[in-house]
């Protein structure tokens, strides 16, 4: 029992029963606005009041948190994440991020989500409190759902179920398969047109099925109904310039309302076309090296600014190598955008209000506004700077959540060890 306690996730916090008043902090609303010396009242899991403390005589309510000199932010949102689907890469039994097959719109990631993942727990000390849990693999990976990171199970965690369909667009170039005796260099993908056509045909067949009698149930086609109605968003993962232009044509041909580009390494090259077709971008992590030798060394760092300057709604995502662990660095990707020209409050929007708008949850989270969920945190300093992102309190839907994790426990353990050794050494002298 002791071992189980040591390795289990923190117990989810109880429902908010008493009002909480946060006084004196600098409130970063998440929509570009800032309120100095703020007064924030949380009640019944919602933000009931947010204003300047000097402009009101409203009495404090419930527990009062004096936060002078600190900063309050909306909970950060991690889109396109496989958090909770894989715990340990090398142990197959803990890997539920993909299913066998290529065209799987009916696969739902949420039923495999592990709310007690120790990796998920480690997001909260950096302010990442919400995530879009996304399947991987195949041409059509399946359907994502959006959760908050303090729950007993996926049913408790769910914020928006089956929010969007995820498509991995084929690449027009590919590297040779060295294990098959091919040249490992980059070369044109001779199968690109065929692979693109398979997607087009699948969408056409799904439309024909849904317009017909449906005498025999076809689960993949049934799952496409909410896509065509516009209720379910379509997230298309692609990086190449040609691929993105083909996606724009695909959107038009299939009359798709809500298409979001995910990754978008070369999106800046076709930013006008993306803007004209109302396509937002969930931009790949900034902390990577350029893909080509002749690209600017800092291209990944400044992509967010290049797109934002064109008026495109940009959110930041974290997929790639060790993506689940690296999700905790989400605020620092936004901080890198600040260092390369993006206004600090605009960069904050890329992990709060912009992402909430892209995911379709901006009516409840993403900004500090009256009536929205009390999902927020208090930081000792600038939350986009890894030197000062130090949380003292965090709330999810008004619940005062734990900021402890396996990492913080180890840090305290070894800090105490060395402090004791120093004391013993000084006493010995």
Which one-letter DSSP state was computed for residue 238?
Answer: E
Tokens of 385: 């700077």
Beta bridge partners of 38: 52
What residues contact residue 332 under an 8 Å CB cut-off, 6+ apart? 287, 384, 385, 386, 389
Of 226, 199, 197, nearest to 210 (Cα)?
226
- CA dist 143 and 166 (Å) reads 6
**pLDDT band at residue 429 under the 50/70/90 scheme:** low
Give the integer Cα–Cα distance in Å for 172 and 169.
Answer: 9
Residues 226, 257 contacting (CB under 8 angstroms): no
Check whether 170 has a pLDDT greater than 70: yes
Instruction: Tell me which H or E stretch contains 135.
Output: none
Confidence of residue 178 (pLDDT cuts 50, 70, 90): confident
% of residues, the chain, pLDDT over 70? 97
pLDDT tens for 111-131 read 999 999 999 999 999 999 999
Q: How far apart are CA 145 and CA 134, in angstroms?
A: 7
Same domain, 64 and 169: no
Burial class for 275, CB neighbours closer than 10 Å (0-12, 13-18, 19+): middle
| DSSP bridge pairs for 81 | 133
5 pLDDT above the threshold of 50: no
Task: Please tell me the predicted confidence (pLDDT) of residue 409.
Answer: 84
Which residues, 6+ apart, have CB-to-CB distance to 62 below 8 Å?
18, 19, 20, 21, 41, 43
Average pLDDT of the segment spanning 184-193 = 88
User: Which residues make beta-bridge pairs with 51?
Assistant: 39
Q: Which tokens in the block code for residue 216?
A: 């025999």
Domain assignment present for 381: no
Do residue 67 and residue 182 come from a single domain?
no
pLDDT at 407: 81
Residue 375 lies in a domain: no
Domain hosting residue 300, numbered range: 76-365
**Would you give the DSSP letter of residue 289?**
-
Q: Which residue has the tokens 């350029």?
A: 290
- Interhelix angle 192-211/241-253, rounded to 10 degrees, is 20
Q: Are residues 33 and 157 in the same domain?
A: no
Same domain, 85 and 68: no
Average pLDDT over residues 98-122: 94
Together in a domain, 62 and 210: no
So what's the pLDDT on residue 6? Answer: 43
Longest dimension (CA), the chain: 89
Quick one: 411 and 315 in the same domain?
A: no
Neighbours of 340 (CB within 10 A): 17
Domain boundary among 365, 386, 415: 365
From 29, 27, 24, 21, select the one nearest 48 (Cα to Cα). Answer: 21
DSSP per residue, 16-54: P-S-EEEES-EEE-SSS-EESSEEEEEETTEEEEEEEGG
pLDDT confidence bin for 175, thresholds 50/70/90: confident
Give the angle 199-360-326 at the CA atoms, nearest 5°: 80
Q: Distances in Å between the alpha carbon of 227 and those of 7, 190, 325?
A: 40, 30, 31
Domain contains 377: no
Phi, psi for 352 (deg, rounded to 5): -135, -95
Q: What percent of the chain lies above the pLDDT cut of 90?
A: 80
pLDDT for the residue 186 = 83
Question: What is residue 90's predicted lDDT score, i.e. its pLDDT?
Answer: 82
Give the pLDDT confidence score for residue 9 in this predicted structure: 60
Helix (H, G, I), strand (E, B) or coil at 163: strand
Do 332 and 416 belong together in one domain? no
The dihedral built from the CA positions of residue 91, 324, 145 and 262, taken in this order, carries a sign that is negative
In a domain, 285, yes or no: yes
Radius of gyration for the chain, computed over Cα atoms and rounded to the nearest angstrom: 23
Residue 290 lies in a domain: yes
> In angstroms, rounded to a whole number, what is the distance separating the alpha carbons of residues 229 and 247?
19
pLDDT tens digits for range 27-58: 999 999 999 999 999 999 999 999 999 988 88
How confident is the prediction for the chain on average, in pLDDT?
A: 93
Total number of domains constituting the chain:
2
Report the alpha-carbon distance of residue 307 to residue 270 in Å, rounded: 10
CATH number at residue 20: 2.30.40
pLDDT confidence of 419, banded at 50, 70, 90?
A: confident
pLDDT of 251: 97
Give the pLDDT of residue 420: 82
Please give the residue that has the higher pLDDT: either 146 or 426. Answer: 146
| Domain CATH number, residue 309 | 3.20.20.140
Question: Is the whole model's pTM more than 0.85, yes or no?
Answer: yes
Q: Average pLDDT in the 188-204 region?
A: 94
Q: What is the structure's pLDDT at 7? A: 46
Strand partners of residue 391: 379
Quick check: is 183 in a domain? yes
pLDDT tens per residue, range 291-330: 988 999 999 999 999 999 999 999 999 998 888 999 999 9
pLDDT given at position 94: 86
* 34 and 16 within one domain: yes
| Res 4: pLDDT | 38
For residue 407, give the H/E element and its range. Answer: helix 406-428
Q: Which of 76, 88, 92, 91 is nearest to 130 (CA)?
A: 76
My answer on whether 293 and 410 are in the same domain is no
Collapsing DSSP to helix, strand or coil, 393 comes out as: strand
Backbone angles phi, psi at 381, to 5 degrees: -150, -155
Domain-ending residue, one of 316, 347, 365 = 365
Element of type H or E holding 71: strand 71-74
């Amino acid at each position: 029992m002791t071992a189980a306690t040591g390795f289990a996730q923190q117990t989810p916090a109880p429902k908010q029963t008493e009002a909480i008043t946060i006084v004196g902090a600098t409130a970063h609303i998440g929509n570009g606005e800032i309120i100095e010396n703020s007064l924030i009242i949380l009640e019944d899991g919602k933000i009931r009041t947010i204003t300047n403390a000097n402009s009101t005589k409203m009495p404090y309510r419930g527990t009062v948190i004096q936060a002078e000199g600190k900063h309050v932010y909306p909970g950060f949102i991690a889109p396109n994440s496989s958090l909770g689907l894989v715990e340990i890469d090398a142990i197959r039994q803990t890997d539920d991020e993909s299913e066998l097959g290529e065209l799987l719109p009916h696969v739902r990631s949420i039923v495999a989500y592990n709310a007690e993942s120790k990796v998920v727990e480690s997001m909260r000390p950096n302010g990442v409190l919400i995530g879009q849990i996304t399947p991987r693999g195949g041409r059509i990976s399946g359907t994502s759902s959006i959760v908050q990171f303090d729950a007993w199970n996926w049913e408790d965690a769910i914020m928006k179920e089956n929010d969007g369909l995820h498509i991995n667009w084929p690449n027009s170039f590919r590297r040779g398969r060295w294990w098959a005796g091919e040249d490992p260099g980059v070369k044109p993908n001779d199968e690109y047109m065929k692979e693109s056509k398979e997607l087009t045909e699948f969408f056409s067949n799904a439309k024909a099925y849904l317009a017909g009698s449906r005498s025999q149930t076809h689960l993949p086609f049934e799952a496409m109904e909410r896509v065509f109605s516009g209720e379910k968003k379509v997230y298309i993962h692609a990086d190449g310039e040609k691929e993105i232009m083909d996606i724009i044509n695909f959107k038009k041909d299939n009359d798709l309302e809500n298409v979001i580009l995910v990754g978008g390494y070369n999106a800046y090259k076709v930013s006008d076309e993306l803007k004209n077709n109302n396509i937002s971008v969930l931009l790949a992590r900034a902390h990577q090296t350029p893909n080509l030798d002749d690209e600017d060394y800092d291209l990944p760092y400044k992509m967010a600014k290049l797109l934002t300057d064109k008026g495109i709604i940009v959110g930041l995502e974290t997929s790639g190598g060790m993506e689940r662990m690296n999700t905790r660095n989400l605020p620092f990707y936004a901080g890198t955008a600040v260092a390369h020209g993006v206004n600090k409050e605009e960069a904050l929007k890329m992990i709060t209000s912009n992402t909430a708008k892209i995911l379709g949850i901006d009516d409840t989270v993403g900004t500090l506004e009256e009536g929205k969920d009390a999902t927020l945190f208090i930081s000792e300093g600038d939350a986009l700077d890894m030197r000062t992102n130090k949380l003292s309190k965090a709330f999810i839907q008004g619940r005062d959540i734990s900021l402890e994790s396996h990492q913080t426990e180890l840090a305290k353990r070894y800090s105490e060890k060395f402090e004791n050794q120093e004391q013993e050494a000084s006493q010995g002298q």
